[in-house]
């Protein structure tokens, strides 16, 4: 479903087009990529972080763009209009900073409540837990993030965790048209810094944790943390649900007046706290008792590991803050399904268990291994790699974490991209005290084959780094590969 406004209406906050020939020009679709422009679209040309869209104005017009909104420059000042025989180009100052607001004016329909989830780890799990739980209570919820956008039964692939400012508004508009009452969005630090969600009003913002990631982009942990914090300080966020077991979260919770602190360990008499009073872990799931702002309760859910207890408590608190009935949430919790590629257990009785997880940061790998130790009566194996063209500093850190918490280590390839896989593994080996004990197998499928051939049926093998992904990015190509499919195939589980 296309939205429609006139160019004059769309741009009225920034420029007055009354008495201009183009004032009544209809706008039905905004497009940032000139290659995707079709007849009648409005091309939006901004100076991006890597590409200057203004270089493609001519190409977009040839593709059929009926109008172009472009970022002002030295040649073209704010308010300048340059017309060709088929299209007009309107130049505006600082267009890159208010794309979200511009798109929000055209794509004005939204689900009735938006939930934004930020943090290093847990965003996908929490958004999907929230959407599942809402669905179990009879309302309609969608997600936007790493594993795709849309309703859980029919996710459409997403290129980035947080899409462009225009894509986000288009998607939310379509979700509302399709009947979504709620939408839970993963909000990346990149998305916050680049203003991609700046015009959205979040009913609840959730903070999961902060640990090393994306330092190739942010430079320092301080800047990375400050980027995450802007969801609560510079964006519209009615209620902040904060994990206070994380030291950064604990500090933010004290600073934010609209916060609810969530903890697995800290009983607190403050009015704005939800905390666990008891947690039990088993291979079949988690049983969690809680107390605090919304009263007491106990529920069970079929997820594995301590960090998933935290994820569940954050999701529960979010839904309670939105007004959902506590007893209904407790009664439906056992029906929640594990999230695809997030501590996902594959097993048959004859072989070692395989757990597929997306852990690709030092903190996430450590938490995954520590969570599995509780369940493991044999040896704990870790198969993992590190991505190429990304933060190299975390490679030896991740290897050291695996050496500390796992009994057996296999170093393999993640997404090498343009880097040498051998160089990446060399960086990882440098973090080990006993490098000779690590097994290196660059092919992920063969790495799991080797582990299963050496492990016994009491062992658990953590296959970490790719989770739900069904591809591997090499130097010159992206190939089909899935850890989940490998586990199913090698354990003889029906695909």
Known binding-site residues for ATP equal 119-125
Identify which of 128, 226, 123, 237 has the alpha carbon closest to the alpha carbon of residue 183: 128
Q: Are strands 460-464 and 353-357 parallel, antiparallel or unpaired?
A: parallel
Give residue for tokens 């091309």: 43
What are the beta bridge partners of residue 285?
282
Residues annotated in the binding site, as ranges? 32, 34, 49-51, 119-125, 160-162, 188, 194, 196, 390, 414-417, 465, 469
Distance CA 484, CA 489 (A): 9
Residue 248: C-alpha distances to residues 93, 225, 251, 255 (Å): 36, 8, 5, 11
What is the 3-state secondary structure of the chain?
CCCCEEHHHHCCCCCCCCCCCCCCCEECCEECCHHHCCCCCEEEECECCCCEHHHHHHHHHHHCCCEEEEECCCCCCCCCEEECCCCEEEEECCHHHHHHHHHHHHCCCCCCEEEEEECCCCHHHHHHHHHHHHHHCCCCEEEEECCEEECHHHCECCCCCCCCHHHHHHHHHHHHHCCCCEEEEECCHHHHHCCCCCCCEEEEEEECCCCCCCHHHHCCHHHHHHHHHHHHHCCEEEEEEEECCCHHHHHHHHHCCCEEEEECCCCCCCCCEEEEEEEEEECCEEEEEEEECCCCEEEEECCCCHHHHHHHHHHHHHHHHCCCCHHHHHHHHHHCCCCCCCCEEECCCCCCEEEEECCCCHHHHHHHHHHHHCCCCCCEEEEECCCCCCCCCHHHHHHHHHHHHCCEEEECCCCCCCCCHHHHHHHHHCCCCCHHHCEECCCHHHHHHHHHHHCCCCCEEEEECCCCCCEEECCCCEEECCHHHHHHHHCCCCC
Residues annotated in the binding site for meso-2,6-diaminopimelate, as ranges? 390, 414-417, 465, 469
Q: Which two tokens stand for residue 34?
A: 């000139």
Q: Which two tokens stand for residue 253?
A: 């919770």
Give exposure, 233-253, as e/b (b: 16+ Cβ within 10 Å). Answer: eebebebbbbbbbbebbeebb
Q: What sign does the dihedral 43-46-50-51 (CA atoms) show?
A: positive
């Amino acid at each position: 479903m296309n939205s429609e406004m006139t160019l004059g209406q769309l741009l009225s906050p920034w420029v007055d087009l009354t008495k201009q020939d183009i004032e009544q020009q209809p706008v039905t679709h905004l497009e940032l990529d000139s290659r995707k422009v079709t007849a009648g679209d409005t091309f939006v040309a901004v100076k991006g972080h890597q590409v200057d869209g203004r270089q493609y104005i001519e190409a977009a017009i040839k593709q059929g763009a009926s109008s172009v909104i472009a970022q002002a420059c030295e040649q073209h000042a704010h308010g300048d209009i340059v017309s060709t025989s088929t299209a007009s180009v309107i130049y505006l100052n600082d267009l890159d900073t208010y794309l979200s607001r511009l798109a929000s004016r055209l794509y004005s329909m939204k689900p009735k409540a938006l939930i934004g989830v930020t943090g290093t780890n847990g965003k996908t799990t929490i958004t999907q837990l929230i959407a599942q739980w809402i669905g179990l209570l009879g309302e309609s919820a969608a997600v936007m993030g790493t594993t795709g956008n849309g309703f859980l039964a029919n996710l459409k692939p997403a290129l980035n965790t947080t899409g462009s400012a225009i894509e986000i508004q288009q998607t939310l508009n379509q979700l509302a048209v399709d009947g979504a009452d709620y939408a839970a969005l993963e909000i990346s630090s990149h998305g916050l810094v680049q203003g991609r969600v700046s015009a959205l009003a979040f009913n609840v913002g959730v903070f999961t944790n902060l640990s090393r990631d994306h330092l190739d982009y942010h430079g320092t942990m301080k800047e990375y943390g400050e980027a995450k914090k802007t969801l609560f300080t510079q964006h519209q966020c009615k209620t902040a649900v904060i994990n206070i077991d994380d030291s950064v979260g604990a500090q933010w919770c004290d600073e934010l007046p609209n916060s609810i602190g969530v903890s697995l360990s800290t009983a607190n008499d403050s009015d704005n706290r939800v905390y666990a009073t008891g947690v039990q872990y088993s291979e079949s799931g988690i049983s969690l008792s809680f107390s605090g702002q919304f009263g007491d309760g106990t529920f069970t859910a079929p997820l594995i590991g301590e960090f998933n207890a935290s994820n569940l408590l954050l999701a529960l608190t979010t839904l309670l803050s939105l007004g959902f009935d506590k007893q209904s949430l407790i009664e439906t919790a056992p029906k929640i399904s594990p999230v695809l590629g997030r501590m996902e257990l594959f097993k048959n009785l004859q072989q070692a268990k395989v757990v597929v997880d997306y852990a690709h940061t030092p903190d996430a790998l450590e938490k995954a291994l520590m969570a599995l130790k509780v369940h493991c009566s044999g040896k704990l194996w870790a198969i993992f790699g590190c991505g190429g063209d990304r933060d190299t500093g975390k490679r030896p850190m991740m290897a050291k974490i695996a050496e500390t918490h796992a009994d057996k280590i296999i170093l393999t390839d993640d997404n090498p991209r343009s880097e040498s896989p051998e160089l990446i593994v060399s960086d990882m080996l440098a973090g080990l005290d006993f490098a000779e004990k690590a097994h290196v197998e660059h092919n992920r499928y063969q790495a799991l084959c080797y582990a299963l051939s050496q492990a016994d049926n009491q062992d658990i093998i953590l296959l970490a780094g790719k989770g739900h992904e069904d591809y591997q990015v090499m130097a010159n190509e992206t190939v089909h590969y899935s850890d989940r499919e490998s586990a199913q195939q090698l354990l003889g589980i029906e695909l």
